A and B are shown apart, each in its own frame.
Chain A
Amino acid sequence: MSQQNRLGNGGRIDRSRPLRFTFNGVEYQGFAGDTLASALLANGVDVVNRSFKYSRPRGIVAAGAEEPNAILQLGATEAAQVPNVRATQQALYGGLVAASTNGWPNVDKDLMGVVGSVGGRFMPPGFYYKTFMSPASMWPKYEKYIRKAAGLGRVPKENDPDIYDHVNRHCDVLVVGAGPAGLAAALAAGRSGARVILCDEQEEMGGSLLDSRELIDGRPASAWAASVLGELASLPEVLLLPRTTANGYHDHNFVTLHERRTEHLADLAPSANGRRQVRARMHRVRAGEVILATGTHERPLVFSNNDVPGNLVAGAVSTYIRRYAVAPGRRLVVSTSNDHAYRAALDWHDAGR
């Protein structure tokens, strides 16, 4: 179980808790605190999927919600199948089973890739699978294979045994995003005695502070985040919701939040005190004020072959090195239009690569 890209030290992972997981039938090892994406990179897995149309190989590009390629199928059993989970948003747990959603017979040897490699001549822009619909008598024959090629992932064939619920909430201030801006806003509101809900979609609150090189008040940014989170947790009117995505901002400050309560623990919701836990919870929040502190996504540069596996946005390189102690490769070539790349180069240098 070599994790050849794992750095010797650093990161916010728990090296005392190794976790085994399976990707496309091969067993790998990661650590608690990893995302599925960081664990795959640590094991040197370059190709995680195939492109939808030409079956070009696809690697991990980003480290968060903006990931376009690492869209995987999860689930060890039929009932637990979940299609199209971003590997960058899925926390690693022991026994996780993941597979690519595209590529046949597998992502490394893909027959559709032959079509892609002879170029777009046979599949020009605007080519649809509907092209095969005539003659109509042949459609049932085509359909079996074409249905497989169309769409990503597959739905489970068995019923979902998990429980889902919802809860109504009211607050004075709802803060979406627990990065530097969101934490500061929640702290200011919380200290005033206001009822505050702070939600963040990641496993750990802190956002960019968790992988920042910056110092705040002479201490590492992550230490500042930890102390702010500690103070927020001690305030009685503040509710912290990690692993919670704000997925709708409706009229009159009505916001819906989707909280993933057990998806970082196992395929299916584990039991606690003899009862099955709720897998996901919908919070229907009516807020006095809503603060959107959702941060930014880095825009990738446009150049030919920028989809070849190994091309990452610079911010993601920093995140993988500093937060997950993974160097996503052996050598680094930087091209930049913004400051993130300088940070990435410094982090890469610190990583000793």
Chain B
Amino acid sequence: MLHIYCPHCAEYREEEEFRPKGEAHIARQVAPESTSDEEWGDYLFFRKNPRGLHHEQWYHAAGCRKFFNVTRNTVSYEILETYKVGHKPSVTQQASAGRSSSKGAAK
């Protein structure tokens, strides 16, 4: 069971309090009426399924009921950081060589 740091509550809580909500950082199409069906379909349904680093949304359902983002390793389930919606991840695939010990890293 994961131990997840909620950036809103500023505490570690049990996985049971949270709901995973899929891939993060998916921008809504600016002009839906002028996008092609294929682009719209990609936006609605197509998601990454990476082996390794993954930025995903989580919902603190049984807590503050706010959304936030998690950078998680899908192989080891290690959580590298959690951050509020609208912020940029500090741990990315490109910059994951020097792993940061930012807030939310699993302890």
Q: Bound state CA distance, A253 and B79, in angstroms? A: 13
- A194 to chain B: closest CB distance in Å? 14
Chain A residues contacting B10 (CB-CB under 8 Å) are: none
Which residues in chain A, 282-313, are within 8 Å of chain B measured between CB atoms?
286, 288
Whether A254 is near chain B, meaning CB under 8 Å from some CB there, is: yes
Q: Cβ of B2: which chain A residues have Cβ within 8 Å of it?
A: 251-252
Task: For residue B77, give the distance in angstroms from its CB to the closest CB of chain A.
Answer: 5
Any chain A CB within 8 A of the CB of B95? no
A252 to B76, CA, bound (A): 10
Contacts of B79 in A (CB 8 A): 252
Bound form: Cα–Cα A286–B15 in Å: 12
B14, CB-defined interface residue at 8 Å = yes
A253 to chain B: closest residue by CB: B3
- In whole angstroms, how far apart are the Cα atoms of A252 and B1 in the complex? 7
Chain A residues whose C-beta falls within 8 Å of the C-beta of B14 in the assembled complex: 286
B3 touches A286 (CB 8 A): yes
Chain B residues with Cβ below 8 Å from A250 are 1
Give the CA-CA distance A250 to B16 in the complex, in Å: 14
Alpha-carbon gap, A252 to B3, bound state (A): 6
**Chain A interface mostly helix, strand, loop or mixed?**
strand
Q: How far is the CB of B82 from chain A (nearest CB, A)?
A: 13
Q: Is B19 an interface residue (CB 8 A)?
A: no
- Smallest CB separation, B101 vs chain A (Å): 15
Q: Is B21 on the interface with A (CB-CB < 8 A)?
A: no
The answer on a CB contact under 8 Å between A251 and B1 is yes
B107 at the interface (CB under 8 A from A): yes
Q: How far is the CA of A253 from the CA of B106 in the complex (A)?
A: 10
| Contacting residues, chain B, for A251 (C-beta < 8 A) | 1-3, 77
Complex Cα spacing A250 to B3, Å: 11
Q: Which residues of B contact A254 (CB under 8 A)?
A: 1, 3
With a CB–CB cut-off of 8 A, which chain B residues contact A252? 1-3, 77, 79, 106
Q: Which residues in B have their C-beta under 8 angstroms from that of A286?
A: 3, 14
Chain A neighbourhood of B3, CB < 8 A: 251-254, 286
Measured CA separation A14–B67 after assembly (Å): 61
User: What sequence of 0s and 1s flags, for each residue 1-34 of chain B, a beta carbon within 8 Å of any chain A beta carbon?
Assistant: 1110000000000100000000000000000000
B15 to chain A, nearest CB (A): 8
Residue of A with least CB distance to B1: A254
Q: Say how far A4's CB is from chain B's closest CB, in angstroms.
A: 52
Q: Which residue of A lies closest to B76 (CB)?
A: A251
- CA of A97 to CA of B100 in the docked complex: distance in angstroms? 59
Chain A residue, CB-CB nearest to B4: A252
Proximity string of chain A (252-266) to chain B, C-beta cutoff 8 Å, 1 when within and 0 when not? 111000000000000
Within the assembled complex, what's the spacing in Å between the Cα atoms of A253 and B1?
Answer: 8
Which residues of A in the span 230-271 have a Cβ within 8 Å of any Cβ on B? 250-254
**Smallest Cβ-Cβ distance to B3: which chain A residue:** A252
The 8 A CB mask of B69-107 against A (1 = contact, 0 = none) is 000000001010000000000000000000000000011
B107–A288 touching, CB < 8 Å: yes
Scoring A residues 264 to 280 as 1 if CB is less than 8 Å from chain B, else 0, what string do you get?
00000000000000000
Whole-angstrom distance between the Cβ of A42 and the nearest chain B Cβ: 44
CA distance A286 to B106 in the complex (A): 12
In the complex, the chain B residue whose C-beta lies closest to that of A252 is B3
Q: Which residue of B1, B2, B3, B107 has the most chain A CB atoms within 10 A of its CB atom?
A: B1
8 pairs of A and B residues whose beta carbons are closest in the complex = A252-B3, A254-B1, A251-B77, A250-B1, A252-B106, A251-B2, A252-B2, A251-B1
B residues within 8 Å of A by Cβ?
1-3, 14, 77, 79, 106-107
17 contacts between A and B (CB under 8 A): A250-B1, A251-B1, A251-B2, A251-B3, A251-B77, A252-B1, A252-B2, A252-B3, A252-B77, A252-B79, A252-B106, A253-B3, A254-B1, A254-B3, A286-B3, A286-B14, A288-B107
- Besides A251-B1, A252-B3, 9 new A-B residue pairs in contact (Cβ under 8 A), listed by A number: A250-B1, A251-B3, A252-B2, A252-B77, A253-B3, A254-B1, A254-B3, A286-B3, A286-B14
